[in-house]
Structure 1
Amino acid sequence: MRRGNSRRRHHSGGACSRLLASLERGILILTLPLSSVGCEDGTGNSVNGLRVVVRDSAGVITVDNAAPVPDSRLPWEFGTQPSLSIGAVDSGEADQLFQVTDATRLADGRIVIANSGSNELRVFNADGSHAATGGGRGEGPGEFVSYSPSAVATWPGDSIAAANPWGSRLSLFDADGNHGRDVSLDPAMLDIIDVLPDGKVFTSGSGGGLHGDMTGSSGLVRSNAEWGILDADGTLLASLGEFPGAEFYAIFAADGSLQGGMPHPFGRGTMGAVWGELVAIGVQDSYEIKAFATDGSLVRVVRRDGDLESPAQADLDDYYARRYADLPDEDRISNLNAVRDMPLVESWPAFSEILSDRAGYLWVREYRTAAWTVFDPEGRVQGLVETPPGLHTFEIGEDYLLGWVYDELGVEYVQLWSLSREISS
């Protein structure tokens, strides 16, 4: 789930796009002469390097952007080190994290962590001290099973929403971790993507299962799934249509049943995030993001130029060689044999992730890089930003980034990093 509360407030932005981020002495420093920055004129076209064409067709706004050049870094700066790091080795306390799936920051600075390894919500004060724990393992009200809570977000009224898809519900807690009530979800829409500011839930189904006409053979298959908006009571409010799932290498038996398989390491799928008052959906087959209103209507299409290259067999071989390099010889050979017939996908995914921040900007992570392309609240490309290396991003605020990282021992940490969007002088 992408934290919908992190994208509520829109920011007026500036007249110009601001570009550059370079890594120097552990700091993401963002400086570039403003002569290199693209400012928009009244027609929506960039007059200084970042081309954008905006069209309105029957109420649907289409924004076509040129791809920013690789050194187009926005002048935004992250701290030299995290301002807060929650995590410990063998402490036996709440700060010993295990299988963190998500985290969100509350308005008072407290951080709520979804610690799925213990099926708990753990609340930490702004200074990193433990404040409260909610949830727990079980099937009762407010309890979680099977690697959940899978996500956490704020809910209207300063409450906390925690996703429990295997329990077919969304569990609501107060800011101190006390369980309030559960919201039963539409049984066909259990994959929670995000929560909107008014409590509506952005969600998708699990798809129709893996099947195909490859009886007795193997190959790549994809199953479509419906995406939609659930009302705050968990019922389906609007369908957004069906979108393709991840590409899966499937092996079928002679009777047509699924015998085995695995996700393709370079497989394309569908990504989603709440974007202000809208929801954004991007199919990784192309660089195109569609934004829908909560009534299901399409209101905006954002595209970015760029040719999609195709992986080679050497890329696939190198991936599995690195993945299984540390296994004992017998296990490594067995695993490599299991993927020897893995086919190539048609192209690399167009992007790897989409998020939006509390200033209303959309962040699209480029595939196989640490760079994000940032779009303003209207979908116009602004430039590139690189987040701290090794950090998996959960939430982007107006002046912070919240994410997850692990060290060489596998110890998990949830970290808060400062973010400055000011232009360096």
Structure 2
Amino acid sequence: MKNTLVSIVCFFVLLITACQSNTDSSSRDVEAKAIIKVNTINTTTPLLGKLGWKLKEQPLLVIGSKEGELHDQFYRAYGAITLENGTFVATNSETSEIRFYSPDGTFRKSIGQQGQGPGDFAEFSNMRLYKLSKNEFVVNDPGNDRFQIYNNDGEHLKVHTMPKIEGAGNPSMNNVLSNGSWLIWSTEGSAVLRGNDGDIIEKKYLLHLFDPNFNYDKVLHRFTARKKYVNTLKGITHYPYIPLTAQPSHTTGTKAGVLFATGVNPVISRFDTSGQLTDQYKWEASRIKTEDIWERYKDEFYLATLEGRRKEQYAHFLKQDLPIPEYTPVISELKVDEDGNIWAERFQLPWHEHTTWDVLNADGEWLTTIQVPDHLRMTEIGSDYVLGFSTKNGFTQLVSYPIVKNSK
């Protein structure tokens, strides 16, 4: 009887162990499948060679003057896009205007003013532009906690007021996904900076997804922001970034979802609309050791550009034992062009005269690199042109440069 009981107990122990083993195996299989689902592309050399693309030296379009007509003067200009009919639309945040220019650069009209009504914009809103469809575009109005939708004729269609999101601070419209969903950016918790002298502040940020009708869906991605330092001198506290640390960046593209980069390494991750990591794109970008450039960077980026109390504050800050990384960041910004190619801006040092962008195709393969003049801030990249704002002549102008593409 005892032997029978022992046998029965052993049987159940073996059965439970087998079940656990199967369960563990099943879990591992699920995990393995989840890992397998992530498509990883690793390119060691650019398919079209380095600097296979370039911008022509002379722009196709130049709009803007230092003096003269007010509609040709730009101050706090953040957004510019090209409509289907070739019309250029640009925002001028200083005057709360949306301006329309013909394909040859002739001024057509201006809409918008400072205020809180439909079609108005807050005084301190940085008005950024996003294409919503072939016939509609969006203008952000963060100072009024909202964004506004227009058709291509400039007719005001709709206002979306930013709702309160539990656990989120300062939510703001950030981009539009290819399926018409809305990407909203916020801090996790309060956006207020707090800490004691010498503390390092590490905040979290959230990317929220709203459906095309602007109903809340989910938190799409959560990430750590660039670290800040609590620097107090003579009773005054400020919160500078830790030098040479990466600022995470993200954008949307032709595929529904979000492209994200921590900036630390040459890696771009794609997340679908469920928040699932689906792709990782890696390439062999060159790295710069911080010890090789630190003294020059410290002087040219900080001390040489400041004076008075600000210079004294930063001189004190730079003497602290700061957790400066071994290498400079790789990626500073992400953009997607009209053809779905992904543009990743390399981290720029103060003495660089150009910004360098690595260009990956829509499948994540490294195509080439292209240099963009330091004075040009791109707002739109087409198949064969870039559009943006230039400060080359000492004031802001809206410009467009042709892209020359070599192929192999």
- For normalisation by structure 1, the TM-score amounts to 0.76
Q: CA deviation at 1:350?
A: 2.1
Greater relative contact order structure (CA < 8 Å, 6+ sep): 1
Q: Does 1:60 align with 2:41?
A: no
Query: Distance between the aligned counterparts of 1:220 and 1:150, measured in 2?
Result: 31
Question: Is residue 312–residue 344 contact of structure 1 (8 Å, CA) maintained in 2?
Answer: no
Measured on the aligned residues, the alpha-carbon RMSD in Å equals 3.1
Q: What SS class does the counterpart of residue 218 from structure 1 fall into?
A: coil
Q: Does 1:227 align with 2:211?
A: no
Q: 2:188 aligns with which of 207, 217, 229?
A: 207
Q: Does 1:280 align with 2:259?
A: yes
Q: CA deviation at 1:396?
A: 0.8
Query: Distance between the aligned counterparts of 1:418 and 1:145, measured in 2?
Result: 34
Q: What SS class does the counterpart of residue 312 from structure 1 fall into?
A: helix
| Larger gyration radius, structure 1 or structure 2 | 2
Question: Is residue 192–residue 203 contact of structure 1 (8 Å, CA) maintained in 2?
Answer: yes
Question: Is residue 271–residue 284 contact of structure 1 (8 Å, CA) maintained in 2?
Answer: yes
Query: Distance between the aligned counterparts of 1:318 and 1:301, measured in 2?
Result: 31
- CA offsets 1:162-203 (integer angstroms, 9 cap, x no match): 011232211112223232210123434733332223432223
**Percentage of matched positions with identical amino acids:** 20
Q: 1:168 aligns with which of 138, 145, 148?
A: 145
Q: CA deviation at 1:389?
A: 4.4
Cα–Cα, structure 1 residues 400 and 321, in superposed 2: closer, same or farther, change >3 Å?
closer
Corresponding residue of 2:281: 302
Q: CA deviation at 1:135?
A: 2.1
Q: Does 1:154 align with 2:131?
A: yes
Question: Is residue 145–residue 172 contact of structure 2 (8 Å, CA) maintained in 1?
Answer: no
Q: What SS class does the counterpart of residue 325 from structure 1 fall into?
A: helix
Q: CA deviation at 1:356?
A: 0.9
Question: Is residue 247–residue 332 contact of structure 2 (8 Å, CA) maintained in 1?
Answer: no
Question: Is residue 359–residue 398 contact of structure 1 (8 Å, CA) maintained in 2?
Answer: yes
Q: Where do 5+ consecutive residues of structure 1 fail to align? A: 1-54
- Structure-to-structure mapping, 1:270-419, within 5 angstroms: 270-277=248-255, 278-305=257-284, 308-312=287-291, 315=294, 318-321=297-300, 323-325=302-304, 330=308, 333-341=311-319, 343-346=322-325, 347-368=327-348, 370-407=355-392, 409=394, 411-419=395-403
Q: CA deviation at 1:415?
A: 0.6
Corresponding residue of 2:178: 197
Query: Distance between the aligned counterparts of 1:166 and 1:89, measured in 2?
Result: 27
Matched to 1:245, the amino acid is: A
Query: Distance between the aligned counterparts of 2:301 and 2:363, measured in 1?
Result: 41
Q: What SS class does the counterpart of residue 197 from structure 1 fall into?
A: coil
Cα–Cα, structure 1 residues 380 and 186, in superposed 2: closer, same or farther, change >3 Å?
farther
Paired residues, number: 362
Q: CA deviation at 1:299?
A: 1.7
Question: Is residue 251–residue 259 contact of structure 1 (8 Å, CA) maintained in 2?
Answer: yes
- CA offsets 1:18-62 (integer angstroms, 9 cap, x no match): xxxxxxxxxxxxxxxxxxxxxxxxxxxxxxxxxxxxx99443211
Could you say which structure has the higher helix fraction? 2
Question: Is residue 302–residue 379 contact of structure 1 (8 Å, CA) maintained in 2?
Answer: yes
- Structure-to-structure mapping, 1:96-175, within 5 angstroms: 96-156=73-133, 158-175=135-152
Cα–Cα, structure 1 residues 285 and 321, in superposed 2: closer, same or farther, change >3 Å?
closer
Question: Is residue 110–residue 125 contact of structure 1 (8 Å, CA) maintained in 2?
Answer: yes
Query: Distance between the aligned counterparts of 2:272 and 2:239, measured in 1?
Result: 37
